[in-house]
Amino acid sequence: MNKELYFKYQWKYKKEDLKFCPRCGQRFSLEDLHIPNQPQLICHNCQFVFYIDPKLVVVAAVLNKEKNKVLLLQRNEEPGKGLWAFPGGHVERGHDLFETIKSEVKEETGLSIEVLEIINTESIASEGIIQLTYKAIAKHEKITVNIESQKGCFFAFDQIPWDKLAFPSTGKILRLITKNQ
């Protein structure tokens, strides 16, 4: 399956585009259920209501042990190919948030981290995403990126590539971190 196509479908569909119930295969009906003017997908055959929930994404602002450098990855995929962002990923249903961010950082960078705290929550409504940003400390600085990134680097705060960030949320978190260190 084309990964880019999958993610476009996953995030960009509208309720009207979904026609059939995933439980029984019968046609959906789009109706007001509890709240006027907020129709839901309803299957009258099996009584299933399909809510399109936002997707949860976790990212990590990873600092070195001295807390004077921050990890950024140069993305190898859209959106933001060639630009810099924090490591992170989608949380699968039933998975622990802390374990997810640790495993995402490990998969994307080879780094083990100590998660300190949640430093930001953000709703990216246009994409159907809620993003939690964790502050973490790397246990070492040997970065080994996977196919999702071109390279990774710990940037001194005065060397951050501000004009080459992939997402507005990355800049927002970097400003928060550099201000508080």
Using CA atoms, how far apart are residues 70 and 159, in angstroms rounded to an integer?
A: 10
Q: Give the distance from CA 168 to its chain's centroid.
A: 13
SS (H, E, C) 61-104: EEECCCCCEEEEEEECCCCCCCCEECCEEECCCCCCHHHHHHHH
Beta bridge pairs of residue 132:
58, 121
Task: Give 177's pLDDT tier (boundaries 50, 70, 90).
Answer: very high
pLDDT digits (tens, 9 = 90+) for 108-165: 999 999 999 999 999 987 778 899 999 999 999 999 999 999 999 999 999 999 999 9
Q: Where does CATH 2.20.70 sit in the chain?
A: 15-50
Predicted pLDDT at 82 = 98
SS3 content of the chain, % helix, strand, coil (to 5): 25, 35, 40
Q: Where does CATH 3.90.79.10 sit in the chain?
A: 55-180
pLDDT digits (tens, 9 = 90+) for 86-107: 999 999 878 999 999 999 999 9
pLDDT digits (tens, 9 = 90+) for 74-88: 999 988 999 999 999
Phi/psi-derived region of residue 80, left when phi > 0, alpha when psi is between -120 and 50, beta in every other case: left
- Top CATH class of 15-50 equals mainly beta
Write out the two tokens for 127. Answer: 């994409």
Using CA atoms, how far apart are residues 97 and 90, in angstroms rounded to an integer?
A: 10
Question: Domain 55-180, CATH 3.90.180.10 — does that match?
Answer: no
Using CA atoms, how far apart are residues 93 and 4, in angstroms rounded to an integer?
A: 21
